[in-house]
Homo-oligomer: A and B are copies of this chain.
Amino acid sequence: MGDVETQDFASLRLSKLQHTKGRVMAAKDIFHHAVRAALIKDQWIITNDPLTLQVDGVDFYIDLGAEKLLAAERAGQRIAVEIKSFLGPSLVSDFHVALGQCLNYRLALDSYDATRKLYLAVPVDTYSTFFAIPFVQRSVQRYQLPLLVYDPEPQEVVQWIP
């Protein structure tokens, strides 16, 4: 698995980002801010931060809601984005949590607006390492988890899958 190497790399990346910002920011805030900025560069309007839903008395907080500018490609499309940094002590545990959240959020969204597509936002280095593992690819396929691959620095969308 090379968990240790991957996490060392992730820590280095985080340290570099925190340094770039000129002050120490919480990891969660840095990645949230990065995805927000990347979406705006990609001509999305952030409509909800967070996107809150209540279904049967249960509260859900999805990190972002966004909508495409009318003049842009994919005009009028609406998305919800759950942002993960994958900086926890175990990538596998982080993935379990992300999967459970996304599947429940998708079910919750169905009650509101089934046309709003939910993406799991994954940093590009986690995508090219952990998400390259065949098991992880099978899980993403089996549970139909759309991914938004982002680069935290520069704050850019790398890929939408699918």
Contact = CB atoms under 8 A, between A and B. Distances in A.
Contacts of A56: 133-136
> What is the oligomeric copy number?
2
Interface residues of A, number: 27
A128 to B, nearest CB: 16
B97 A135 contact: no
Q: Is the interface of A mostly helix, strand, loop or mixed?
A: helix
Contacts of A107: 135, 138-139, 142
Given A1-B58, A56-B135, A104 B95 contact: yes
Interface in A32-84: 55-60
B143 A92 contact: no
B100 A1 contact: no
Contacts of A101: 96, 100
Given A133-B56, A133-B57, A103 B99 contact: yes
Contact of A103 (B55, B103, B108): B103
Interface of A: 1, 55-60, 92, 95-101, 103-104, 107-108, 133-136, 138-139, 142-143
29 contacts: A1-B57, A1-B58, A1-B59, A55-B135, A56-B133, A57-B133, A58-B92, A58-B133, A58-B136, A59-B92, A60-B92, A92-B104, A95-B100, A96-B97, A96-B100, A96-B104, A97-B97, A97-B100, A98-B100, A99-B99, A99-B100, A99-B104, A100-B100, A100-B101, A103-B103, A103-B139, A104-B139, A107-B135, A107-B139
